[in-house]
Amino acid sequence: MTQGIIQTDVYTDFQGINALRNRVRTDGDSEETLRAVAEQFEALFLQMMLKSMRDASLGDSMLDNDNTKTYQSMFDKQISIEMSKGEGIGLADMLVQQLRRNKGVDASEKAGISVSPQRDFTELTNTRPNLLQVKKPSETSSLDRQVPDWKPESPKEFVRKLWPHAKRAADELGAKPEMLIAQAALETGWGQRMVRGADGRNSFNLFGIKADNNWQGARATTETIEFRDGLMRKERAQFRAYTSPEESFSDYVDFLKSNPRYNDALRQADDAPAFTRALSEAGYATDPDYAGKINRIMDGSHLREALGGVEISETGPRS
């Protein structure tokens, strides 16, 4: 970093920041000032990036508390300043060159490198150490193939979109598709409260299936309501993430069939009240009224009216 002006070597050094602001006002065209401002901008950029990385983590550690989070934030802010010193990540160099061009100064002469007006940030950072290069996730572990986001505007749209998938899944389970639609409506608020990942992407998790250690696919972490010892509590949990509603229905079928504890429920799949009650008794959900809520949705006017707009399948009327 330039030694000609006061440095901001510690993120709490407000004197250095104020001195830099005053230097810009009085000598904003000098090389030293341009470099110092660019490095401060790069440090702020790194702070934002580190914060985003923290926010996108899988969740808080069991040992985390307000104190550790405070010191973690302090560390991130300080390390961002250290990373911006010297060669940094190339962002400061790019800014200095851009500012020089704006002031009519030949950037290549000043920097001693060949820089065309079209040279972009990607090319510039390729000459720097790959400090922040992140390995691209494999196609099978990401949501890159995810269908466009979906947020139905009404129960009727919710049912129309999901009915074909519910019908196929119900056929595999020997259940009624209306029951699967009702369960998905309960879990997602008719599609209005879909679980989303840290990046805002829709998980398409229609049945509230959580991601345990055996789940190898994508995950989405969010707050959820659970009942513990008869009391309703807000908890943070990881849920399975899918690329489409169809994939969610397919995994729901596999999930029930692959878990022996749901064998009793599957034997009663053709009886919706018995099926939902057996699911609840097997521990599918912590809500003591889980089965009752599904059955009330099945018998309610919202579903009945929505089903009225669903086209009859080739195999005949809905069962």
pLDDT digit string, tens, across residues 140-178? 334 444 556 788 989 999 999 999 999 999 999 999 999
With beta carbons less than 8 A apart as the criterion, state whether 165 and 204 touch: no
CATH class of 155-307: mainly alpha
β-pairing verdict for 231-240 and 219-228: antiparallel
Q: How far apart are alpha carbons 13 and 17 in whole angstroms?
A: 7
Rg (CA), the chain: 28
User: Among 87, 123, 226, 289, which one carries the catalytic annotation?
Assistant: 226
- What local confidence, expressed as pLDDT, does residue 151 receive? 85
With beta carbons less than 8 A apart as the criterion, state whether 203 and 240 touch: yes
With beta carbons less than 8 A apart as the criterion, state whether 255 and 241 touch: no
- One-letter amino acid of 128: R
112: DSSP letter: T
pLDDT at 18 > cutoff 90: no
pLDDT confidence tier of residue 21, bands split at 50, 70 and 90 = low
87-127 residue pLDDT tens:
667 777 777 676 665 555 444 444 443 444 443 444 444 44
Q: How far apart are alpha carbons 301 and 308 in whole angstroms?
A: 11
Look up the pTM and report it: 0.53
- What local confidence, expressed as pLDDT, does residue 39 receive? 77
314 given a catalytic annotation? no
251 given a catalytic annotation? yes
Residue 134 CB neighbour total at 10 angstroms: 7
User: Among 42, 93, 178, 251, which one carries the catalytic annotation?
Assistant: 251
Every domain range in the chain assigned CATH 1.10.530.10: 155-307
